[in-house]
Structure 1
Amino acid sequence: LDLGGCWNLLSRPLYKDCRAEPCDCSVKTYTSHMSVGSGINPATFIMEKRTSATEYHIEASTSALDNNQSDKLSNRHVKQANVQSVALADAIAKDQPNYKSLSQFKLYAMMALCVLNGVMNGYDGSVMSAINAMDPFQDRFKIGTTGELNGAVFSIYTVGNIVGSLACGYFMDRWGRRTCMFSGASSIIIGSVLQASSYQLPQFFVGRFIVGVGTPMCATSAPVFLVEMAYPTWRGLAGGLYNVLGWYIGANLAAWTCYGTNFIPNDWAWRIPYIVQLTPATIVVSVVWLLPESPRWLWSQGQKERATAILTKYHGNGNPNSALVKLELDEIQDSLAAELELKNGHWNYKALVNNRPNLYRMWLIMLVAVMAMFIGGSVISYYLFSYVVGNILGNTTNFLIVMVEGVGIKDSSRQLLINGLNTVTSFIAGIFGSFFVDKVGRRPLFLWGTLLTGLVYIPINVLAARAEQFDKDGGTIPTAQSYAFIAMVFTYGIFWSFCWTPLQALYPAEILNNVIRAKGMGVKGFISGVASFINTYGTSVALKHIGWKTYTIFLVLHFIHLGLMYMYCVETKERTLEELEDIFNDPKPVKRSLQKTRVVIDDGLGVKVKDNA
């Protein structure tokens, strides 16, 4: 292909074997010989340089094609669409992936194993609250339901989370994603055995710390592996389902296991839940080595042949000429060029903040991690659950349970049922929301989720204030008001789970590039752990001293967060992981991420760019 030195062979705009990158010339017309179908025919192209190496204005003349080839082109399925990435749309159109193929089903199985890591996170995060409410547990260790000793038992898990979050970045960069999942699951097994077999508090204390270390190692490495292995067109769905299924299955498994064992009048009431905790961890330890390693990590370690083979097998369905595989390999090669600088620096975290694009990424990580804890969703769900369990044991003193009792629901089993139904409706909403991640996009879900939950917080504030006043005056809360409060709690859970829950693990893993993804996700876990620690204890103190006004603070934070997300949240859908580099390198990342290009998609041949959408 002779272009007079003005174009290099790099990207694939339209037809097989046509690859070009612009030089300083803005427009170049040339004639080339390319394979279309089975013959060699001349075709004339006009390319106009766009804002990045992956966007061109392409027009093709097929007048020189023979009649058979022209008929073949005219009979193919053609449609128009607005796309975020021309290069990815072109590769998908050429490959025409079969989502029912064996390679795709193997990818689905890998995603299922990732979900088990999320199940451990959901289980670990919920089981202790229920066990702490059991009489046999309190009789054995006498830690009480409040006080310094109780706080220490709960806090040591958070300390373990912080340690594990910092360690997992090193583990993933040094030994790979699978090793980190294996190490985290092994830690959970060891810690669970220590807790289940404890007769003395120090042993239980150590076991809880070890589980705390292992949980973020699993919960961080699994979404990293997932986004790096998932097929680009359903990466958002997979990432959303990972967090929704993992957390809610784990949390429900813990809650209902403890509900069942609570009727056992001896130590087995709290030992059995820790034995059950071994199940997902044991499966991960047993199966994780059957998974391929992340091709992006392999490439960073110089194992390019293995990386190519894995991408060819799972993303190209075994086709070495797959357009998608070629696109991904080219982009991985470019994006990992900086890895040479960090080859001997697995503990070097300077790369997270050593340039403007990475600083922007870490700012988004902080927004997602911190504000997810501080805009109130965790407060409502955590305290509602805590007070329902507390009421079962007869030690409830908060107006949330007064609301439940205000509608005539006074027995503990029905109160627990309300909490269970709230979890189920949120779970269903999260599943539905996951299917909108790739269709609607990440940015709209974040913005609408924050806005809607903020609006729900307004009646929650009003109803909470009135309930507290009724409680102080010794009056009876009107039944309608109690029903309204419960309805708002359910509504909040639905909005939050639909919009935010699918994105909390997916979005941070996407926006971090290949060089800093492992360390960045580790720091994200660290930030979340610290924020959770502050939120849990700070909210408890605030509720005690200022009551319902605590929820006003969260209401204000909602709209502050909404403004920040509107200004800084970039869209990541319909792009390969490496193509996101163009967004963060742009002076205006949000505007760049929202740009679309109008294309004509011709299945089997590629795309024709019409204009910017």
Structure 2
Amino acid sequence: MGYNARIASNPYVVGTFACIGGGLFGLDISSMSGVLSNDAYKRVFSNPDSNAQGAMVAAMPAGSFVGALAVSQLADRIGRKRTIILSGLIWIIGSILQCAAVNRGMLVVGRIISGISVGIASAVVPVYQSEIAEPRIRGRIVATQQWAITWGILIQYFIQFGCSYIDGVASFRIPWGLQMIPAIVLSSGMVFFPESPRWLFDHGREEEALQVLADLHGNGDTKNELVRLEYEEIREQVLFERTEGAKSYLDLVKPGMPRRVFLGCALQMWSQLSGMNVMMYYIVYVFQGAGITGRRGNLIAASVQYVLNVALTVPAIIYIDKWGRRPMLLAGTFFMGFFLFLVGGLQGGFGRWGTVEGETNPVWVVSDHDSISKGIIVCSYLFVCSFAITMGPVSWTYPAELFPLKVRGKAVSLATSANWAFNFALAWAVPPGLANIAYKTYFIFGTFNFAAFIHILFMYPETVGRSLEEVEEIFAQGHTFSAWKIKKDVGKKSLGQVIEHNKELEYQVTDHLDLPEKV
């Protein structure tokens, strides 16, 4: 599939368009949170209890786990671009099944298929974005993945809000049907965008890779200095990897790699254990606990949270390449833990078991304490803001920067699958948790955030401003439990140094390489 060189001349356009795949994740989150109090939904799906509702919500991350693992093969075999196109096509199938669902089984199947699509997109889009962006803007480009997720949540939630005034099944079928539109746009639009230059080079299409780099970063000029440096760095990495033989999953356990795989998987795990997606999926239950009941009150209170999520992601996108990954992660985990403990403490100190409008089972609710209820709501909003401006964008950016080209597809796939494994477990477990241990649930997630703070402080090195090839030098320094000691100039090389190193590597490659002349 060809691409339009004029469109490809702007890396922001290329990177942000691909992140529509992230928007699919956001659409799914609020496609369920917006119907939890919908009478027509409850009637069609037989008034699901907390366990059944958890299972239906968890069907999507279960499929996403499978989809993320599939990227380990798809991204390397058919390319980053075609894999993104495939994710959009799968989403359309899943949306059709959800829209037409007449029972729980059909809904679960549709959500699993949509989940496969989201898993594929969530794993491959950050890889694609990181490989088409130059180092100084890479964080900004990949962070748009999180922004797309927040927009997906917000748009779908307001569609749900509007359709909630429709009587009957159309109130939830219309939103579930409309979510096909972004996937159609994604799959059709990606045809006009380039393949990753690093994937092209790795598959013997070096001249095409050079031209893509020139279009993206040099206004079409193949002799541009930045283009030359990137080309030589990619060449250096590919030459080195070819001296090590064929690609294999065993590469993930070779010296130096297990640490990076662990960091990538752990960061995605912490992003789920932060409690953010729980707040997104089950915001209705959170506000019930604060004493806000009724369809209108709940939907309006929740919509404020979704607007904040979108708005506060913007500063993160703008400044992620100035603030750095470590400071953002440390600040985010600390404040998220702090606000969750406040929510749990306020609910525990002033709440009791009782009944609320529209629910037959008892819930933990704060009543007769208007100021406390407002305090809980404010703390939940501040929690969302803390995630949006820190952990949200960095959790997608950082894993995509950690790995060498040879294993990047497989390693990011594995890291993203960790995200979905924990997403699945939490989506299923939280409704029973809120039904049984109530406010204590927030203490659990608050503790996870403080544990993440300690882990990040000691083990996560800074990667901002370095090319994907320069990141290799960071991990060559060691400092496994003292990540703050790595200096900013580690990994930096001049064009001449890279070319000289390439000459040495060429002599080490046993098989003949049909590489083009250096630019």
TM range (shorter): 0.7 to 0.9
One-letter amino acid matched to 2:488: Q
Q: Percent of aligned pairs with the same residue?
A: 25
- Give 2:290's aligned residue: 403
- Give 1:386's aligned residue: 284
One-letter amino acid matched to 1:176: G
2 CA distance for matches of 1:351 and 1:561? 27
- Give 1:576's aligned residue: 467
2:513 matches 1:513? no
One-letter amino acid matched to 1:307: A
Aligned to 1:361, which of 230, 242, 260?
260
Q: Which moved more, 1:531-540 or 1:469-478?
A: 469-478
Aligned to 1:460, which of 331, 339, 343?
343
Offset at 1:120?
1.0
Aligned to 1:130, which of 34, 44, 52?
34
1 CA distance for matches of 2:239 and 2:120? 27
2 CA distance for matches of 1:560 and 1:112? 33
Asked if structure 2 preserves the Cα contact closer than 8 Å seen for 1:442 and 1:571, the reply is yes
One-letter amino acid matched to 1:576: S
> Helix, strand or coil: the match of 1:504?
helix
2 CA distance for matches of 1:297 and 1:475? 55
Offset at 1:129?
3.4
- Give 1:164's aligned residue: 67
Per-residue Cα deviation, 1:223-243 (whole angstroms, up to 9, x for no partner)? 111111123221111222231
2 CA distance for matches of 1:382 and 1:200? 21
- Give 2:306's aligned residue: 423
Give the structure with higher Rg (CA).
1
Asked if structure 1 preserves the Cα contact closer than 8 Å seen for 2:364 and 2:439, the reply is no
Asked if structure 1 preserves the Cα contact closer than 8 Å seen for 2:51 and 2:431, the reply is no
Offset at 1:310?
0.9
2:481 matches 1:594? no
- Give 1:585's aligned residue: 476
Per-residue Cα deviation, 1:298-329 (whole angstroms, up to 9, x for no partner)? 11111111111111222122222222112112
Structure 1: give runs of 5+ residues left out of the alignment.
1-100, 389-399, 600-613
2:183 matches 1:281? yes
One-letter amino acid matched to 2:70: A
- Give 2:269's aligned residue: 370
- Give 1:183's aligned residue: 86
Asked if structure 2 preserves the Cα contact closer than 8 Å seen for 1:300 and 1:339, the reply is no
- Give 1:396's aligned residue: none
Offset at 1:160?
1.3
2 CA distance for matches of 1:353 and 1:198? 43
Flag the structure with higher strand content: 1
- Give 1:261's aligned residue: 163
- Give 2:10's aligned residue: 106
Offset at 1:349?
2.1
> Helix, strand or coil: the match of 1:505?
helix
Offset at 1:155?
3.5
Change (3 A) 1:445 1:594: farther
1 CA distance for matches of 2:403 and 2:312? 27
Offset at 1:473?
11
2 CA distance for matches of 1:164 and 1:280? 19
Offset at 1:547?
3.0
Alignment of 1:209-608 (within 5 A): 209-244=112-147, 246-337=148-239, 339-340=241-242, 345=247, 348-356=248-256, 358-383=257-282, 385-387=283-285, 400-405=287-292, 411-469=294-352, 476-588=367-479, 590-591=483-484, 593-596=486-489
Change (3 A) 1:553 1:200: closer
Alignment of 1:33-182 (within 5 A): 106-131=10-35, 133-140=37-44, 142-146=45-49, 150-182=53-85
Change (3 A) 1:496 1:132: closer
2 CA distance for matches of 1:237 and 1:260? 33
CA RMSD in angstroms comes to: 2.8
One-letter amino acid matched to 1:548: Y
Q: Which moved more, 1:112-121 or 1:172-181?
A: 112-121
One-letter amino acid matched to 2:222: P
Change (3 A) 1:458 1:204: closer
Change (3 A) 1:148 1:557: closer
Offset at 1:402?
4.4
One-letter amino acid matched to 1:526: S
Change (3 A) 1:367 1:549: same
2 CA distance for matches of 1:287 and 1:321? 29
Flag the structure with higher helix content: 2
Change (3 A) 1:181 1:143: farther
> Helix, strand or coil: the match of 1:263?
coil
Offset at 1:451?
1.6
Offset at 1:565?
0.4
Offset at 1:475?
8.6
One-letter amino acid matched to 1:366: C
1 CA distance for matches of 2:165 and 2:193? 40
One-letter amino acid matched to 1:135: D
2:95 matches 1:192? yes
Change (3 A) 1:593 1:103: farther
Offset at 1:344?
5.9
Asked if structure 2 preserves the Cα contact closer than 8 Å seen for 1:464 and 1:548, the reply is yes
1 CA distance for matches of 2:51 and 2:317? 40
Offset at 1:545?
3.5
- Give 1:45's aligned residue: none
Asked if structure 2 preserves the Cα contact closer than 8 Å seen for 1:441 and 1:573, the reply is yes
One-letter amino acid matched to 2:308: T
One-letter amino acid matched to 2:272: M
One-letter amino acid matched to 1:233: R
1 CA distance for matches of 2:302 and 2:340? 19
Change (3 A) 1:199 1:492: closer
> Helix, strand or coil: the match of 2:463?
coil
Asked if structure 2 preserves the Cα contact closer than 8 Å seen for 1:118 and 1:242, the reply is yes
- Give 1:90's aligned residue: none
TM-score by length of 2: 0.85
2 CA distance for matches of 1:381 and 1:154? 12
One-letter amino acid matched to 1:527: A
Offset at 1:102?
6.8
1 CA distance for matches of 2:215 and 2:407? 26
Per-residue Cα deviation, 1:357-378 (whole angstroms, up to 9, x for no partner)? x112112112211111113333
Change (3 A) 1:530 1:541: same
Structure 2: give runs of 5+ residues left out of the alignment.
355-362, 493-519
2 CA distance for matches of 1:491 and 1:200? 37
